[in-house]
Amino acid sequence: MKKMKYRSMGGLTVKDGRLVNDREPGVTGIAQAARIKKAMDKAKKVDMIAAGVTIAELREKLL
């Protein structure tokens, strides 16, 4: 009978008869939603700053 060294099962690996967890740490839905909201807020601020810079450059050219 052939002995298998490694066998993958969705991030879990059987190595020498022991189960090894190679998965990334899980993230709860609330933590994921908070991370997405923070990214959206940051993107909104970046857009505001970019718009302000553009308006300032246009005013500079006109005056």
Cα–Cα dist 25/18, whole Å:
20
pLDDT digits (tens, 9 = 90+) for 14-62: 888 888 887 777 888 899 999 999 999 999 999 999 999 999 999 999 8
Edge-to-edge strands, sheet with 6-9: 6-9, 12-15, 18-21
Please determine, for residue 10, whether its predicted confidence score (pLDDT) is greater than 90. no
pTM greater than the 0.85 cutoff: no
